[in-house]
Structure formats: structure tokens, C-alpha cells
Amino acid sequence: MRRLLKQISEHLQGFVDQRDDLALILCSPAADALPVLKIIEGLEDASTSDLYWVVTNNFTDPASYVQALVQGFATKHQAVRLALEQRALRPWPSIPPALLAADASPVQRLRELTAFSRELLPVPDGGTNVWVFFPLEVADGGAYATLMAGLLRHEFPFPWCHHLRFIVRDDPPNGALRRAVAGMPRIRWYQPDLSLEAVNRALEAEANDPSLPVADRVALLPVLAGTDFAWGRYAEAMKKYELLLRFHAPTGNHAMAAFALNGMGEVYEKVGDLERANQSYEAALVPASHGEHPALPVWLNTVVNLANLCVRQGRWADGEAYYDVAQQLATVARDPTTKINALDGRATCAQRQDKLDEAARSWSSGAVIAAQLQDVAACRLLLGRLEQLHAQRGEASQAAELRRQLAELGSPQA
């Protein structure tokens, strides 16, 4: 993953450093926004001669967008001026009053703003102003594209935009910006690949890189194993969980040893080897519950896996016991959803053993918690199970009361 992010960072830095192109249209879907912005932030932090102006304001319409940009720029500009004055350093030049006025068109104001920013470079004509227009949301793609195209339009041999670089976000499915700047010179396009497939390839490459420390490579295995499992590559997932176990068990890392054993159990269960799955889950309980401060999330997950496996195998007494442990651990973990599910499972196991009073108490406890959380779906489910139980036992008044409560909850949403 570090290599993938480094490649993207180097590509963006290469654009900033070159002297041929004015703008880079950065094709970035919403899901990639935060990691891309983090990369740009890293470039800004590392720069000593370039000034970065990163704008993430949402775009609604050109006038309000540019007005917000000008106001934000002015606020930052004033803060820096005051700081420089307090340190007896040469302050930044004042913002021209005409730039602050809203008389000009949005395109003209944006041009004047970015052109003025050149005067703030640490060394005059010795660096570059990098403007990053990266709205996280665009309400009007056409208007946004028109504004950016107007900003980027220039003529040779004396373009207005010397010592400026523009990085402009475009959401690939929109396509409006690509159409608006079609045929314009000195514009390049870049779409970094941050898909799950690309990330997984990068992680695999790092995990198999012998030049990296072993501990760093092993640290990638949980993510890779989880990805393999999610994509149905069970043999590959098993190999990674086994490597994790072999690395962490001898070092006394109980949490990771339990994580690996639980993962192996999930793989065995997925391929239908329920006996080995049960053995792996039970083995995971030992390191998961080790010490005064056990790995509670791993412990809870393992116990829930064991309880669910017992239900698959019809081992109702064992399932009831494991669900009981799970609901207690969920209380400690402050995980009410898992607690409700565990109480539901415990009640089902009790019912299958004809322990109807215990089943009723569990469903009732779960319904109370669901009501407190205002989880209508869970509350409806558990009250429905209680209503069926009382009807089964011929307890008409209790069943009628539960039907009344269910009616107050209303019908399930489609």
C-alpha cells in the first residue's frame, strides 16, 4: 500500500515540477477523495518553495463557490500577515480591494485570485503556486465544468497563468469537465487506481518483498487474508492465517494468535469442514481469553462463531452456553447489537431443548434492549418470537398483549 501511495504521490509531484502543462485533471471518484487529499497534504508539507492552496468546498453554483474561496483565502492571508508582523518579518502584500468585491464574473475573480497568489511566493518567481480544486460534492456538474474551463483558458505567447499549476478534481462518471476542456492545450489527465484490486496487488507485493523487515510484511497478512476470504480464495486465506499463527504464537502475541486461529476456523467452516472449524475456534479461545486484559473483540467474535457453529450442528446445549458467554462479553464490550443477537440465539437454543421459560426470558431481555436502542426491526423480531412462544403454550392473554405491542410498532418497511 505504501508503494501504491508513493507512486501516486510521485506522479502528482512530477506534474508540479514540470514546466510544460498548466493543469492536471484528477479523475477521482468520491470513494478515493480522502486518500488522494492525504497524498496532496503530504506534498504540501514537504514543499519548501511552492505554495499550495487546497480547496475542498462543495460546489453549488459558480458565484457562491468563488465567493467562499475568496473569503477563505482572505482569512488565511490575514492570519499569515499578522504572524509575519509579530515576528518582524516582511508581511505579505495586501489583497487588492477589487479582488474582494463581487462585481466581476466568477471566472474573472478566480483568475485574479490565483494570479495574486503568485506575489506570496517565498522567493519571487522562484517557485510555483499550486491550486487544488477538489470539491467533495458537486451539485451542478455542468456549471463546475464551465467555471474550471474558463479558469484554465489561456493564450500564448504571454499566458496570464505563469508560475501557476492547477489540479482539478473530476468525477469520472460525470464527464462534463472532459467535454468542457476538450482541445485545450497544456492539460493532462490522471486517474490513480485505488480500487480494491489495486490495493490488494500493492499489499501482496509488499508482503512478498524480501527487502522489507519480516515484521512489516507479516503486519499486512491480516488484511490480505481477509481479502482472500471475502473473494472466496479460501486456500490462499488459510495459508496467510497459518503464517500469522506460526509467527505470533512463539512470540507470545496472544491476540494475533487467537485472530489467526479464529480466521482458520472461519475458512474451515466456509469449505464445510465443521469438525476442524470447531477445533480451531476452541483453540482460539485459549489465547483470546489470556491474561488480565484479553483481546476482547477477538474473544467475542470467536465465541459467537462457536455458538453459530453449534446451531448448524444441532448442538443446542453447547450453543446455549456459548451464546450466554457471548452476551456477557458483549456487555463488557459495550456492543448492544451483538448482545441482542446473542440473547436471540440463546433463546432459540433453549427453546429447542424445551426450556421455554429460559427462552422467554432471553427474548424478553433482548426486546427490552432493542426498545432502549429504538431498534424497531430487532424489537419486532423478538416480540414476534415471544408471541409465537406464548401462543404455542396456550397463554392467550400474554400472546394478545404481545400482538398489541407489535401493532403499535407498525408494519415493517418494504
User: Rounded to whole angstroms, how far apart are CA atoms 163 and 264?
Assistant: 57
Q: What per-residue confidence (pLDDT) applies to 124?
A: 67
Taking alpha carbons only, the member of 408, 329, 336 closest to residue 369 is: 336
Taking alpha carbons only, the member of 391, 331, 382, 323 closest to residue 353 is: 323
Instruction: Sketch out the chain's domains with CATH numbers.
Output: 2-194 (3.40.50), 197-409 (1.25.40.10)
Alpha-carbon torsion angle 351, 357, 362, 364, nearest 10: 120
Rounded to 5 degrees, φ, ψ at 28 are -140, 105
Rounded to 5 degrees, φ, ψ at 214 are -55, -40
- The CA distances from residue 102 to 4, 62, 69, 105, in Å, are 43, 12, 12, 8
Peptide bond into 294 cis (omega under 30): no
Q: What per-residue confidence (pLDDT) applies to 278?
A: 97
* Residue 315, Ramachandran bin (φ over 0: left; ψ between -120 and 50: alpha; else beta): beta
Taking alpha carbons only, the member of 190, 197, 205, 195 closest to residue 3 is: 205
Q: Is beta strand 164-170 parallel, antiparallel or unpaired with respect to 187-190?
A: unpaired
Q: What per-residue confidence (pLDDT) applies to 19?
A: 87
Residue partners of 114: CB distance under 8 A and separation at least 6? 53, 129, 131, 151, 161, 164, 166
CA angle 394, 346, 282 (to 5 degrees): 155
- The CA distances from residue 189 to 16, 39, 172, 177, 185, in Å, are 13, 17, 11, 11, 12
Taking alpha carbons only, the member of 323, 268, 243, 259 closest to residue 296 is: 259
What tens-digit pLDDT sequence spans the chain (414 residues)? 567 778 889 999 999 989 889 999 998 888 788 888 888 988 888 887 788 999 999 999 999 999 999 999 999 999 988 888 888 888 888 998 888 888 889 999 999 999 999 888 876 666 789 999 999 899 999 999 999 999 999 876 667 788 899 999 997 666 788 889 888 889 999 988 877 677 667 667 777 777 778 888 888 888 888 888 988 989 999 999 999 999 999 989 999 999 999 999 999 999 999 999 999 999 999 999 998 889 899 999 999 999 999 999 999 999 999 999 999 999 999 999 999 999 999 999 999 999 999 999 999 999 999 999 999 999 999 999 999 999 988 888 888 988 888 888 776 654
Cβ atoms of residues 237 and 245 within 8 Å: no
User: Rounded to whole angstroms, how far apart are CA atoms 293 and 287?
Assistant: 11
